[in-house]
Chain A
Amino acid sequence: MPPGRLYRVQGVVLKSAQMGEGDLLVTLLTRDGSKLRAMAWGARKLTSRKMGHLEPLTLVDLALSKTRGIDGITQAQSLETFAVLKSSLEATAKAFYLSELVDGFALEGGPNPPMYDLFLGALRAVQDSADDSAVVLRFQLNLLQVNGFMPELYRCVDCRRRILPGDHRFSVSLGGALCSGCAPPGAAIAPLSLNAMKALRHFHRNPAPDAPRLRIPPALYEEIKSLLDGAVRYWLDRDIRSAKFMEHVDGRKAKTLHPNPSTQGV
């Protein structure tokens, strides 16, 4: 597209960064599943009509102007603000985490429509049931799936034989489940319980974020989470910074929120 040409795009704002005196650098996941960075000049001035539409976690319709450098946002109109999600600390913390993962996997100029559907669906699921811990796990597994990093759950990654119930372990670097007979040298192999295996297969077969709720006891949650965290960290090759805050405000661990329990009031 030649410079100066206007075009429109819809997407979810993943993050925005203040630039210079009053400008905002916005990163979006567009509807085709690619990442787009664009500049809203003067957006932080109080009189600007754009700022409120460009908050992270907003589904927005943008008019952009092509430039030689980074494209400029000329108009912004929010289509869905996720106001209910943003009124819950747990849900907001989860949404930050989902956004950081998407920001990590999405590519500029690299369309991936299923990733957009997955992300939007997960945000809506977090909004509708902030206490459903399975939403994040389901999202992690299916984010790996739509980006081509789906862990193998049905056959041993080493001997290729069908994985039998109760006879399985897991290796992120080898790409999934292993039978107990296989132990390729040098690979880190973690235990994988039967219930964790069942849950992972359930998430894989029911990728829609509004799939039937699955009750996951805390210990099982921790097992699956650490396994999926390991896979995500392996493929992104970095830590997910917002994970710590998500865990910190997790309702089930709310006790740790008061840094000094002895100063707690009645």
Chain B
Amino acid sequence: MNQNIPAPAPVVRLIQELNRLPGIGPKSAQRLAYYIIRLPAQEAQELADAVLGVKDRIIFCSICQNLTEIDPCDICSGPRRDRSLVCVVEEPLDVLAMERAGFYRGLYHILHGVISPMNGVGPENLRIRELLPRLQDGSVKEVIIGVNPTLEGDATAMYVHRLVSPLGIKVSNLARGLPVGGQLEYADEVTLSRAYQGRREF
């Protein structure tokens, strides 16, 4: 954009709003804005409706904290789910990935982030506390921690473990191993040592 000739105010505002989205820099925001400007009115309306629709109709499941239209969500109210297992994940997208893989029949608990002290995100900013009431009636036998194997993910896992283990419930971690398709020789030491620690009997 030419510095001397500012874009009309509504365009500037759209660029600013898009720029606030994660992963969207100023250049991408400009490209998206001008793409939206060229859209037929009908399509622009549909985009706006979709944005407002998620804000109006999507709520947090009061049990697992996942995003849902009905409370409790389909998974929490599913008749065939194994209610003795709760898998703790960072984001709703992680639930989608697990469900796509199709092997897991238990329930979930979505934290909506990880503990990130340097960014000012503590346990109180996540939905960790909401896990405890779910573990009171004795039906849950195992909590499986499935957060990403990063430093912050590990700190979050240790924190959840510390919170849950006094309740006498088994806490396990997803094994952190080698990515399928990855090659042993290219793995870094951390991944390798975790793959070793997570080894299981054949």
Interface residues of A (CB under 8 A from B): 15, 19-21, 46-47, 49-53, 55-58, 78, 81, 83, 86, 88-89, 92-93, 96-97, 99-100, 103, 241-242, 244-246, 248-249, 257-260, 263-266
Report yes or no: B117 in contact with A97, Cβ–Cβ below 8 A.
yes
Report chain A residues within 8 Å CB of B159: 89, 249
Report yes or no: A47 in contact with B182, Cβ–Cβ below 8 A.
yes
Report chain B residues within 8 Å CB of A89: 155, 158-159, 162
Of the listed residues A21, A86, A246, the one surrounded by the most CB atoms of chain B closer than 10 A to its CB is A86
Instruction: Choose one: A20, A96, A259; the contact of B129 (CB below 8 Å).
Output: A259
- Which range contains the number of B residues in contact with the other chain? 35 or more
Report chain A residues within 8 Å CB of B72: none
Which residue on chain A has the smallest CB distance to residue B155? A92
Tell me, rounded to whole Å, the shortest Cβ–Cβ distance linking B48 to chain A. Answer: 26
B102 is an interface residue with CB less than 8 A from chain A = no
Tell me, rounded to whole Å, the shortest Cβ–Cβ distance linking B156 to chain A. Answer: 10
Report yes or no: B190 in contact with A265, Cβ–Cβ below 8 A.
no
Instruction: Choose one: B129, B136, B163, B193; the contact of A83 (CB below 8 Å).
Output: B193
Tell me, rounded to whole Å, the shortest Cβ–Cβ distance linking B95 to chain A. Answer: 19
Report yes or no: B166 in contact with A265, Cβ–Cβ below 8 A.
yes
Report yes or no: A264 in contact with B166, Cβ–Cβ below 8 A.
yes
Nearest first, the 9 closest Cβ-Cβ pairs linking A and B are A52-B188, A242-B117, A265-B167, A245-B117, A241-B120, A52-B190, A46-B179, A89-B158, A96-B117
A81–B129 CA distance with the chains assembled, in angstroms: 31
Instruction: Choose one: B23, B117, B166; the contact of A93 (CB below 8 Å).
Output: B117
12 A-B pairs in the complex with CB atoms less than 8 angstroms apart = A52-B189, A53-B190, A81-B190, A86-B151, A92-B155, A241-B119, A245-B115, A246-B117, A258-B163, A258-B166, A260-B129, A263-B132
Report yes or no: B150 in contact with A55, Cβ–Cβ below 8 A.
yes
A246–B119 CA distance with the chains assembled, in angstroms: 13
Report chain B residues within 8 Å CB of A257: 162-163
Report chain A residues within 8 Å CB of B191: 52
Interface residues of B (CB under 8 A from A): 23, 25, 115, 117-120, 122-124, 129, 132-133, 135-136, 150-151, 154-155, 158-159, 162-163, 166-168, 179, 181-182, 186-191, 193
Tell me, rounded to whole Å, the shortest Cβ–Cβ distance linking B197 to chain A. Answer: 10
A66–B120 CA distance with the chains assembled, in angstroms: 32
A261–B165 CA distance with the chains assembled, in angstroms: 14
Instruction: Choose one: A47, A58, A93, A245; the contact of B181 (CB below 8 Å).
Output: A47
Report yes or no: A100 in contact with B118, Cβ–Cβ below 8 A.
yes
A-B contacts besides A19-B23, A47-B181, A78-B190, 9 pairs, CB < 8 Å: A21-B23, A49-B186, A81-B190, A83-B193, A86-B151, A92-B151, A93-B117, A245-B117, A259-B129
A19–B179 CA distance with the chains assembled, in angstroms: 22
Report yes or no: B190 in contact with A263, Cβ–Cβ below 8 A.
no
Tell me, rounded to whole Å, the shortest Cβ–Cβ distance linking A21 to chain B. Answer: 7
Which residue on chain B has the smallest CB distance to residue A50? B188
A246–B155 CA distance with the chains assembled, in angstroms: 12
Tell me, rounded to whole Å, the shortest Cβ–Cβ distance linking B121 to chain A. Answer: 9
Report chain B residues within 8 Å CB of A46: 179, 181-182
Tell me, rounded to whole Å, the shortest Cβ–Cβ distance linking B188 to chain A. Answer: 3
